[in-house]
Structure 1
Amino acid sequence: MTDGSPSWSLQTEGRCSLRKAVHRDQQLRRHFNFSVPGLQWAGSFHKSAWQRLSNHAPPYGWEGMPVNVVRSSLALLNSPVSSVLFERPHEAQCVRCAVVGNGGILRGSKQGHAIDSHDLVFRVNGAVTTRFADDVGTKTSFYGFTTNTMKHSLILYYEEGFTQVPQGPEVRYIFIPSDLRDYVMMTAAIQGLTVTSGEDAGDRPWRYFGFKPPEYFKMIHPDFITYVTQRFLKSPLQRYRTGHLYMPSTGALMLMLALHTCDQVSAYGFITSNYADFSDHYYDSVKRPLVFFANHDLKMESWLWDVLDHKQVLRLYKRTGGS
C-alpha cells in the first residue's frame, strides 16, 4: 500500500469527478489513495500476497485460512472484468452512483425516484424494497454483504419483507471477506454447487443469487478494508478488549468502494447527526432506536459522511423531523 497523492491525472478525469474535490483539499489528498485495489481477483493471489496477508486476521487478511481454499476461491474470479467493479461504456461518461443504507431516515422520504435515476445503485444487508419503492426505489446494481449479515438479515427482517436478496439480470454481488465462510460461499455460488463444509454446509447458493457466471461476483480486497480502517475509520473501539471485533460497517465499505470507483456518489439511509429522530430501519413496523455495538463505530462513520458531504466529495441525504 502506498502513501501519498492519488495516482491519477486530472486531465483524464470526467467533468463531474469527485476526485477533483479531493485534489483541491490538502487534508483529503493525505487520506485518499485511489491506487489501493478495491477488489480481489485471480491475480490477487500469489506467493508474496499470501506471505503478507496470512499474517493478518480477516477481514484484513487471510490468517487462519487454508491456503488451498483462498487460492481456489480467488482463481474463479478470472473474468476480464473481475478486477473492476464495472466497465465504462465510454471514458468520458459521468457515472453517478447511489449507495442506499437501511436507516429509518428513508421512511416517508419519497427518494425512490431520485435513487433509481442514478446509473448504479448499491444496496446492503436487509435491502427491503417491497412496499417501500416510493422511499428507496427498486433498482439494484450491486448488493453488498458478508455471508453472516446476509443470512441474519433474511431471518431478522423476513417479517418486514426481506424474503430474498436482490435478484435480477443486472445485479452483481459484492462479498466482504469477514470470514472463511465468505470464500467458501462465493466458491459454491460461482460453481453452482451446494456448500459442503463449514458453518454453511448444505446451503444452496443459487437460492440466494440464482445461477450466474463469475463476472457477477465480486469480493472486496483485504487491503482496501485495511486502508479504509486506517485512513478514515481508525476508531478508539480498536483499543478496547473487544477491539478484535471491530471493522467498518457493510454500508461504510460499500460507500467507500463507490467513492473510489464512481464519479458522483449520493448516500441515502446513512446515519446523520439527528439519527435519534428516526427508527433504526426504514422498514421497522414499530419505531426502534439505533443500537451501537462494539463491532462498528457508527458515530465515527456519521462524522466522516458529514465531513465528506461538506467538502462536496459525496452528497449525503439529510432531513429533519422523525418517523
Structure 2
Amino acid sequence: MRKVVPLVVSLLFCTLFYLLIWKRFQGTWTGPQKVYSAVLKSEFLWRLDQGTATILAPFLELSSNKTTKSAVKDILPSPSHVKSHQEMLSGNHNLSVDITVMPVLFKKNFSKYPTWDFEDVYLKNNQEKGLVCSQSLWKSKNKEFQAAGLHNIQLWLHNGLLNISEWNRLSHFNNPFGFMEYTYNDIKPAVDLISKPKFPLLFAVPEGAHDGCIRCAVVGTGGILNGSGKGQEIDSHHYVFRMNGAVIKGYEEDVGNKTSVYVHTAFALHQSYYRLKKYGFSGIPKNEGIKCVIIPEGLRDFEWIQGLLQNSRLTKKNFVGVRPLTFYDKQFEKDRFYVLHPDFLRYVRNRFLLSKSLNLSYWHIYRPTNGAFTLFLALHTCDIVNVYGFITEDYKKYSTYYFERATKTNIVFYVNHDYNLEIQTWKKLHDSGIINLYQRKENLNGT
C-alpha cells in the first residue's frame, strides 16, 4: 500500500502536466523542443501567489539533438527572487518571480547548432539613437540591411542585466553568444562588477560635426595597409576603432596614430603582448580618453574582467599569476571599459554572418572574427563608417599583417572563422553603400 500511494500521486501529476501541455497547444503536438521552449517562455506553469510566481526548470530530452540526463548537473541549490524573461523583454517589471536555474546544456550533445524558438529574440535598449545625420547608414534604402538591422540592440553587458531568468535564456547558446556549459556562479560575480555605461552609445555627435554625422574609421591589421599611405586619412575621422594587435609606432603613415576605441578578447590582448613585441606592440594604444571594449568569448574573459576590475592577479588555469591591469593604460578608468552583450554578438552572427559551419560537427567553435564584431559595433555607433585593413577578394596579394614588411606571409583560414563569408559580406556592405571598404586602386583597375 505504501508503494501504491506515491505511484498514484506521480501518475496524477503526470496526467495534469500532460493536460496542461495539450491545452496550451490546442490539441497539436509540436515536438519536445517546442514544449521545452514553451516551458521557459509561457506562463502555464506559473503559480501566482500575492504577486510572486515560480517557474520550474524543465527536464526534457530535446528532440533529435538530445541532452541526456548525464548532462544535467551543476544546478544551484536555491532559486533567486528575480523578474521573468518575458517581463524583462516587455519592459513590465511589476511581477516578481522566483525562478529555478535550468540544467546545464553541453555542446557535445548537439551534432549541429541547436536552434530555439527564441533564437532571434534580443534585448534592446530604451534610448534610441537620434538619426539627425542625413547621410547616416541607418537611412540606407537597402531593404535587406534595413530588415536585418536593429539600431537599438542592447550593446553592453553590465550589472543589473543578469538574473536567473536571463541566465536560463542565455544558457541555451554557446559562447560567446551565451553561457552554455557554464554555471551561474561562473559568470555572475564578474558581471556584477561591470558598471552600467552612462550612455547606451559610445559617442555623442562631436561639436565640429555641423551636419550631425559621426564619422568613424575601423582599422584592421591586414597587410593591404602596408604602403597604403592612409594614415592621415584615418586620423581625420571623428573616432577610430582598432582591435587585437594594433601596432602603431613606426607604421603611422599607413595606419594613423589615433585610437578612440580598442576592441579585444583577453586571449588576443595577452597573446599580442608576447607575440608582437618584436613589432613594437606593448599593450593597448595610449590615447587619452580611449574606450576599451572586450568581447566575452569564453570563461577566461570573465575571469579576466573580474581580475581587471578588482586589480587582482588571476588564479585560474587560463592566466595564472597574470594581473590584467598591467596590459592597459595607467589611466585606465572603469567607466571607459565596456563588455559586449552576448545578444549583440549572436545578432551579428544570426543576421549578417550566418555560416554553413553551424550545420557541421564543429559548429560550436565557429564565430565571426574580432574585426567583424568591431565593424558591426561601429555600424551601431556611427553614421558614416570607413573600413581599412580588412580582408578583400584579392587577399592573396598581401601579407597577413601590415607590420610584416620584411617577409610576406600567407593568410591562414582558421576553422573557427568563415573568412570567405566575411569577404563576401564586406563587399556586399560596400556595394550597398553601408560602408566604404578600402581596396587597393591598382588592383581594382586590374593591374
* Structures share fold, TM-score greater than 0.5: yes
Aligned pair partner of 1:75 in 148, 171, 192: 192
**What SS class does the counterpart of residue 43 from structure 1 fall into?**
coil
* 2:389 aligned with 1:269: yes
Which of 155, 170, 178 is matched with 2:289 structurally?
A: 170
Change (3 A) 1:11 1:137: closer
Q: 2:49 corresponds to which residue?
A: none
Structure 1, unaligned runs of 5 or more: none
Give the match for residue 25 of structure 1: 142
Q: Which residue of 2 aligns with 1:51?
A: 168
Q: Give the structure 2 partner of residue 129 of structure 1.
A: 248
Q: 1:236 to 1:12 in 2, by over 3 A?
A: closer
Name the CA distance, whole Å, in 2 between partners of 1:321 and 1:280: 19
Q: In the alignment, which residue of structure 2 is the partner of 1:187?
A: 306
Q: Which runs of 5+ in 2 are unaligned?
A: 1-119
- Whole-Å Cα distance in 2 between the matches of residues 319 and 127 of structure 1? 21
Distance 2:243 2:418 in 1: 17
Identical columns (%): 34
Cross-structure match for 1:227: 347
Q: Which residue of 1 aligns with 2:155?
A: 38
Name which one, 1 or 2, has greater alpha-carbon Rg.
2
- Identify if the C-alpha distance between structure 1 residues 35 and 306 changes in structure 2 by more than 3 Å, giving closer, same or farther: same
Offset of 1:11 from its aligned partner? 7.8
SS class of match (1:42)? coil
Instruction: Specify the alignment match of 2:316 in structure 1.
Output: 197
Note the alpha carbon deviations across 1:91-139, whole angstroms, 9 max, x for none: 9732111110000000000000111111111111111111100000011
Higher relative contact order (CA 8 A, sep 6+): 1
2:279 counterpart SS class: coil
Distance 2:286 2:196 in 1: 21
Post-superposition shift, 1:2? 4.9
**CA distance in 2 between partners of 1:228 and 1:143 (Å):** 19
The Cα shift of 1:47 comes to 2.7
The partner residue of 2:403 within 275, 283, 308 is 283
Q: Residues 223 and 318 (structure 1 numbering): CA distance in 2 closer, same or farther, change over 3 Å?
A: same
Report the residue type matching 1:53 in the other structure: L
User: Deviation at 1:290?
Assistant: 1.1
Change (3 A) 1:194 1:82: farther
Q: 1:88 to 1:2 in 2, by over 3 A?
A: farther
Match of 2:213 among 80, 94, 112: 94
> 1:301 and 1:193 mapped to 2: Cα distance?
37
Tell me the number of residue pairs that the alignment of Structure 1 and Structure 2 aligns.
317
Distance across 1 between alignment mates of 2:191 and 2:130: 34
Aligned equivalents of 1:161, 1:279: Cα separation in 2: 18
After superposition, the Cα gap between the structure-2 partners of 1:320 and 1:168, relative to the gap in structure 1 and judged at 3 Å, is closer
- Stretch moving more, 272-281 or 29-38: 29-38
Question: Partner of 2:325 in structure 1?
Answer: 206
Cα 1:43–1:93, aligned 2, differ >3 Å: closer, same or farther? farther
Mean CA deviation greater in 145-154 or 161-170: 161-170
Could you say if the C-alpha distance between residues 89 and 135 of structure 1 is closer, same or farther in structure 2, counting changes exceeding 3 Å?
closer
Distance 1:9 1:184 in 2: 32
**TM-score normalised per structure 2:** 0.66
Q: In the alignment, is the contact (CA less than 8 A) between 1:41 and 1:82 conserved in 2? A: no
Structure 2 residue 424 is the aligned partner of structure 1 residue 303:
yes
1:44 positional shift: 1.9
Deviation at 1:8, TM superposition (A): 9.8
RMSD (CA atoms): 2.3
Q: TM-score, normalised by structure 1?
A: 0.91
What is the alpha-carbon distance in structure 2 between the residues aligned to residue 55 and residue 195 of structure 1? 28
- Seen in structure 2, the aligned counterparts of structure 1 residues 320 and 142 have a Cα distance that, compared at 3 Å, is same
Distance 1:189 1:247 in 2: 25
Q: CA deviation at 1:267?
A: 0.5
